[in-house]
Structure 1
Amino acid sequence: MNPTVHELDVATLRDWPLPVPADDEDKEARGRALVIAGCPETPGAAILAGHAALRAGVGKLTLVTVASVAPGIALAVPEARVIAMPDDMAAWPRSASMAKLIELAGRAQGVLIGPGMSEGDATLDVVEMLLPHCRKAGVVLDAAAMAVVMRHAVAQPVLLTPHAGEMAHLTGLSKSALRQAPDAAARAAAARWGAVVALKGARTLIATPEGEAWAHQGGNIGLAVSGSGDTVSGLIAGLLARGASLVQAAAWSVFLHASAGDQLARRWGLLGYLAREIPDEVPGLMAQFMPPSDAAH
């Protein structure tokens, strides 16, 4: 018999409401998100992920990126504190700013590492250096950062967000094998890596190391656009900062992302809406999907 897979729908989300700060609390109560993202070739990933974290409701956002693009990112996301690191990631451990980055990792409730970052050992070395310092945080590893599991299983709870191509690279499975048994592949990877795995696609499966799973079928082909995955990861980081668990943040973000795509398709058409437009749909959708008493806050 196949293990139970919980289907994600509006009823599921309303029975699983997100943490909501009280009306008299300040931005600290909405949490701190740390997003480490971008490189000279793909600076927009940091902007997309940071904007999504803000639309998810985080109180304080810090973006960490490479020095050559940091000023532009700071202007594009004026709500964020922006930390500039060397363009050469191999120099990060020796940088004067590394101590500041470690301190920020220790204070954040939601940490996202990877969108738009350069692939290679230098990035993975930074991931391994930072993970032990993320003491209070739910951690999302995306894009290049996910390859740390090819070195060894992670020693703390993290969430990985691969699409099929990334999953094939991380596991050594062919895309055809993944298409035939995506649920089994996600469950096996979660157990082997000791991580929550959100295998993204038209049907997204979220699997835990303990064998639990949640699935969502929906969205549309318009979401298959550059930068779309960065917005999902940013939403997750923002919800983690607000106090959601790894699985809850992933489930809500996957559903919100797909629902935002449906709204944008109705407005603009199935093809041609932009990844940068996805997060702007999220606050209204969160209010719509939350139980009425919680949404009223």
Structure 2
Amino acid sequence: MDWPAVRDLTPAALQAMPLPAPGTSKEDRGRLCVVGGSVQVPGAALLAAEAALRAGAGKLQIATVRSCATALGVAVPEALVIGLPEDATGEIAPGSPALRAALEQCDAVLVGPGMRATPFLTRFTARLHQMKATVVLDAGALNGGVCAGAGAPFILTPHAGEMAFMCGGRKEDVERSPLEHAIKMASDTSSVVVLKGPRTLIVGPDGEAWIHEGGGPGLGTSGSGDALAGLITGFAARGATPMEAALWGVWTHGEAGRLLAGSVGPLGFLAREISLQVPGILQRFNCADS
């Protein structure tokens, strides 16, 4: 397929958009909140949260269902964990002032990993346009529909099936013309769209488009998307723009997959192993001190 207007996402391209300097304390690297997890899928919030810290974010909060909060607090002792009311299906329920308070001081927010679409989640994401923070929407937060809003662009991270749901079309149509779907969604929602797949497309609301083909088939594993969303949010918390955070997240995720394919095998490595590779990747490319 000939996509002449799409740029290749390479280390050389990233060197032209270095990450913000790390500073000397956690306050310098931003505060983020992961809103996610459910009784059935509590680990998704953990995968995303750990990836955000590995990307260099300074302070982490996790807002999840109350019945899983203690376990997550033990699993991620670096985080402040907020237990939220849950509904009869084990999803986060409305009515928590603690959640609103947690988001007020955040530089970046990730919503959706490990969650299903619910009326609460749809209403909640609609209100996030009022925030100054960079907002990353993943998984269940995508299925409720995303509307254009003022402020910084959202970062949307759908795979082909989720994109089809958002567009009201078919997965096969998205797979046949992914660039066209990504450009339209980015324009319609004023967002940065990361359309995940063997070839991941990153498209901005102004039509700026990038493609990344690295990482290998091993990244197509359960929880890999949660790690990617966490990396993007971590880079955004550090002060990267929405487009820069998306590009750095996609490339670093792919590079981690490439390294794991060499050390573990092309298939069979776990999503939890992805974020462990990230500090070394950033160090080798002189990113941690840039």
Whether these two folds match at TM > 0.5 is yes
Deviations along 1:4-52, one digit per CA (max 9) or x if unpaired, are 2121001011121101223xx2110011011101000000001000000
- Match for 1:105 among 99, 103, 106? 103
Give the Cα–Cα distance (whole angstroms) in 2 for the partners of residues 276 and 295 of structure 1: 21
Residue matched to 1:50: 49
User: Partner of 1:35 in structure 2?
Assistant: 34
Q: Which residue of structure 2 lines up, in the alignment, with residue 125 of structure 1?
A: 123
- The residue aligned with 1:60 is 59
1:232 to 217, 223, 228: 228
Deviates more, 1:224-233 or 1:110-119: 110-119
Using a 3 Å threshold, how does the CA distance of structure 1 residues 91 and 235 change in structure 2: closer, same or farther?
Answer: closer
Per the alignment, residue 275 of structure 1 pairs with: 271
Q: Quick one: which amino acid aligns to residue 16 of structure 1?
A: M
Say which SS state the counterpart of residue 149 (structure 1) adopts.
coil
CA contact (8 A) 1:39 1:117 kept: yes
Equivalence map 1:87-236=2 (5 Å): 87-88=86-87, 92-95=93-96, 98=97, 100-132=98-130, 134-135=131-132, 137-149=133-145, 152-156=147-151, 157-236=153-232
SS in structure 2 at match of 1:38: coil
Amino acid aligned to 2:154 = V
Contact 1:149–1:193 (8 Å) recurs in 2: no
C-alpha displacement at 1:197, in angstroms? 0.6
Q: Distance in 1 between matches of 2:189 and 2:4?
A: 19
Tell me if structure 2 keeps the 8 A contact 1:222–1:273: yes
CA gap 1:295/1:142 in 2 versus in 1, 3 angstroms: closer
Contact 2:38 2:92 in 1 (8 A): no
Give the match's secondary structure for 1:61: strand
Superposition deviation, residue 191 in structure 1: 0.8
**Superposed displacement of residue 118, structure 1:** 2.6
Q: Aligned-pair distance for 1:280?
A: 0.4
Is the 2:128–2:135 Cα contact (8 Å) retained in structure 1?
no
CA distance in 2, matches of 1:264, 1:161: 22
What is the rounded CA distance, in whole Å, between the counterparts of 1:76 and 1:91 in structure 2? 20
Structure ranking higher in helix proportion: 1
Q: Which runs of 5+ in 1 are unaligned?
A: none
Whether the 8 Å contact between 2:85 and 2:95 is mirrored in structure 1 is no
Distance 2:236 2:127 in 1: 21
Aligned-residue RMSD, C-alpha? 1.9
TM-score for both structures, normalised by structure 1: 0.91
Structure 1 residues 73-82 or 123-132, which shifts more? 123-132
Residues 109-147 of structure 1: per-residue CA shift (max 9 Å, x gap):
111000001322122122224442x22x11101111113
Cα distance in structure 2, aligned partners of 1:238 and 1:279: 11
Q: Given the superposition, is the C-alpha separation of residues 230 and 91 from structure 1 closer, same or farther in structure 2, using an over 3 Å criterion?
A: closer
Query: Gapped runs of 5+ residues in structure 2?
Result: none
What is the alpha-carbon distance in structure 2 between the residues aligned to residue 11 and residue 260 of structure 1? 17
Residues matched between the structures, number: 286
User: Which residue identity is paired with 2:162?
Assistant: E
* Aligned-partner residue type, residue 121 of structure 2: T
Q: Which deviates the most, 169-178 or 191-200?
A: 169-178
